[in-house]
Amino acid sequence: MKSIFRPSLLTTRARSKLGIGCTTVFLLVFALAFGGFGGWGVYQQFRVRHFLPVEGVVTHSQVEVNTGSDGTTYYPDIHFRYTVAGQTHDTGRYRIQSISSSGRSGKQKIVRRYPVGSKVQAWYDPDKPQVAVINNSFSFFPVIFLAIGVIAVGIIIGIWVWHIKGGSVRWMSSLSGRQTSAARKPHGHGVRLRRFKQAPYVSSFREMAVFCLAWNAIIWTIALAMWFATDENELPWLAWLSLVLFIAVGVYLVVKTIMMGMARVKLTEPTLTASVHPLRLDESFQVHFSQRAKQPVYVERVAVKLVCRESATYRRGTDTHTVTHDVHEAEHEIAVDIQADSRHPIDATLELRIPADGMHTFHAPRNRIDWLIQVCTAVANWPDYTETFELKVDSRRAYTT
């Protein structure tokens, strides 16, 4: 009888390096394409600022239509004649870069503004007199492309920093189901618990700040481009409504980031140690909470919540969604009405129990069950400091040897 044996051809480290290499190549091509196009466009825009004025006469003025697989786009195709240093040129055009976009009516307005035979105020390149434009205003469309290219480069750098720090190898190991089995520390030896960093939640202040910055940078770049480009493009109201929604999310992120930052002004990061870790079902354990204050604060309460959370990830088309549900929640107040300062930290100990009928920790690529401890320090008249720590519950019962 033969058994089906599937050997692993690559080590975890080699696979993570291969994956990162492929991602880097893809993103690099993406960055070069978008960044190159956007950078060239921005450079052209700044060049136009140094053009010199000249009078011209429009010789051709109509809306050009481009029909492609992704729809129909338009641009105002305007040519004009002008004379520089005794030489006549027929090469003048509307803008330094002709970019097609949707919205025919906006382009028709421009064409109506410059009928054939009309005189126009134009600008020509003193270094290349054959290059001249009517519209020398700054267009933000190339900026968007450049921003996308810069973001792609940022992602590449971030991925390599993450890989160098060993994060990719740990992530690959967790995908293959190989989890490092930590030796259980017996009672009396505190095990410091780690912060919970699993997506889709952005739990740390640093992650939230970076995400907020990236989100608002992208959205405001697009908003400015849309605002300054409206003389050429009439965008449907749905586009503006969508933008308003994205801006609203950006504002929420800014407020949340500021509140998280404010909480960190007065308090340091809390530490949580467990008397036993990893845990088992039906096991009691003690949790010790400690947090220092950077300045004298009045802490109204410190609450600790033991949570068992299901996470399920699915794809719909090209979108990935993750839903979560807390199947177990138990909140405990471990301290109330405390005056804390740098010399008198907040210290509290609490006994918790993993329920006998609970589920152990389960990690698969698309489905997870996590045990978490959420800590919330409520400071009077100040945003709360919240942090989430992860527990590991083995697939054994407390009384099993």
Partner 1 sequence: MAPSIRIELDPGPWREPEFADYRVCGDTVGGHAIVSTLEALSCRAVTLSVGWHTEGRGDRDEAFVFEQRVHEGELSSGEHRFPFAAKLSDGPMSYAGHYMNIIWQVKAQIDLAWKRDPMAEKKFYAVLP
Binding site for partner 1 (CB under 8 A): 1-4, 177, 281, 310-315, 323-325, 327, 359-360, 362, 364-367, 369, 394-397, 400
- Minimum separation from the CB atom of position 220 to partner 1 (A): 34
- Minimum separation from the CB atom of position 290 to partner 1 (A): 32
Contact 212, 253 (CB under 8 A): yes
Q: Can you tell me the distance from the alpha carbon of 82 to that of 122, in angstroms, rounded to the nearest whole number?
A: 9
- Minimum separation from the CB atom of position 386 to partner 1 (A): 23
- Minimum separation from the CB atom of position 174 to partner 1 (A): 12
Q: Can you tell me the distance from the alpha carbon of 302 to that of 196, in angstroms, rounded to the nearest whole number?
A: 19
In the bound state with partner 1, the residue whose beta carbon lies nearer, of 33 and 175, is 175
Residue with tokens 């979560």: 324
Instruction: From 261, 372, 292, select the one nearest 324 (Cα to Cα).
Output: 372
Q: Who's near 198: CB < 8 A, 6+ residues apart?
A: 311, 368, 370, 390
In the bound state with partner 1, the residue whose beta carbon lies nearer, of 347 and 390, is 390
- Minimum separation from the CB atom of position 363 to partner 1 (A): 9
In the bound state with partner 1, the residue whose beta carbon lies nearer, of 156 and 393, is 393
Q: 160 to each of 5, 27, 31, 187, 345, how far by Cα in Å? A: 34, 12, 16, 39, 38
In the bound state with partner 1, the residue whose beta carbon lies nearer, of 150 and 369, is 369
Instruction: From 12, 35, 10, select the one nearest 156 (Cα to Cα).
Output: 35
- Minimum separation from the CB atom of position 3 to partner 1 (A): 5
In the bound state with partner 1, the residue whose beta carbon lies nearer, of 126 and 365, is 365
Q: Who's near 254: CB < 8 A, 6+ residues apart?
A: 212, 216
In the bound state with partner 1, the residue whose beta carbon lies nearer, of 99 and 369, is 369
Q: Can you tell me the distance from the alpha carbon of 358 to that of 393, in angstroms, rounded to the nearest whole number?
A: 10
Instruction: From 381, 373, 283, 376, select the one nearest 330 (Cα to Cα).
Output: 373
- Minimum separation from the CB atom of position 372 to partner 1 (A): 16
Q: Can you tell me the distance from the alpha carbon of 113 to that of 233, in angstroms, rounded to the nearest whole number?
A: 15
Contact 367, 311 (CB under 8 A): yes
- Minimum separation from the CB atom of position 167 to partner 1 (A): 22
In the bound state with partner 1, the residue whose beta carbon lies nearer, of 84 and 369, is 369
Contact 205, 260 (CB under 8 A): yes
Left, alpha or beta for 71 (phi > 0: left; psi -120 to 50: alpha)? left
Residue type at 367 in one-letter notation: N
| CB-based burial label for 144 (10 Å; 0-12, 13-18, 19+) | buried
In the bound state with partner 1, the residue whose beta carbon lies nearer, of 49 and 397, is 397
